[in-house]
Amino acid sequence: MFQNFYPDEDADSAYQLDYQKYYDDGYRGILFDVDNTLVEHGQPVTLAAIGLFERLKEMGFRTCIISNNKEKRVRPFADALEAFYIYKAGKPSPRGYVQGMEKMGTTPETTLFVGDQIFTDVWGANRAGMHSVLVKQIARHEEIQIVCKRFFEKIVLFEYRRKKRKKRKQSQIRS
């Protein structure tokens, strides 16, 4: 019932992913959400984000920030990270994801998405046909409309994690 909202994988943080493995697996572009994925909501770029994007660039990745926010929020952030950007992306519409891939010169098969929300970030990436990674939100304080969505996300995540555990048990039985 909720499969369209399930990420391909989940992780604690965008800063703890094994990006070298993704590169080795053939991914060449990464789309990132900003607020509560890379920094706390509304905060400027951090040294940790700059360091991450420098490492990604050294590995050979192209990067793009994709946000539903306005250009005045997204552009300075992306400029500091030397990344492409899409503002007013219309997530979960695939439009912004496709635009990001066009800027990076990648395809859905070679692009990874990293974000913290199921109903915008993950669903949009899934609709665009790319690999989606859901990370835990950085901070708990958020705008009221996001707080409301988080309540419903808990239901979807409960089912996602239940099915994930079931698959893991089945694969252990087969081994």
Q: What CATH number did the domain enclosing 40 receive?
A: 3.40.50.1000
pLDDT at site 31: 98
Share of the chain above pLDDT 90, in %: 73
CB-based burial, 68-96: b 16+ in 10 Å, e otherwise: bbeeebbeebbeebebbbbbebebbebeb
Total domains in the fold of the chain: 1
pLDDT at site 23: 98
State the average pLDDT over residues 76-95: 97
Per-residue confidence band for 26, with pLDDT thresholds at 50, 70 and 90 = very high
Helix/strand/coil percentages in the chain, nearest 5 = 50, 15, 35
| pTM to 2 decimal places | 0.85
Residues forming a β-bridge with 35? 39
Could you give the CA distance from residue 33 to residue 39 in angstroms, rounded to a whole number? Answer: 10
pLDDT at site 146: 65
- CA-based nearest residue to 122, from 20, 32, 15, 62: 32
Instruction: Identify the domain containing residue 118 by its residue range.
Output: 3-174
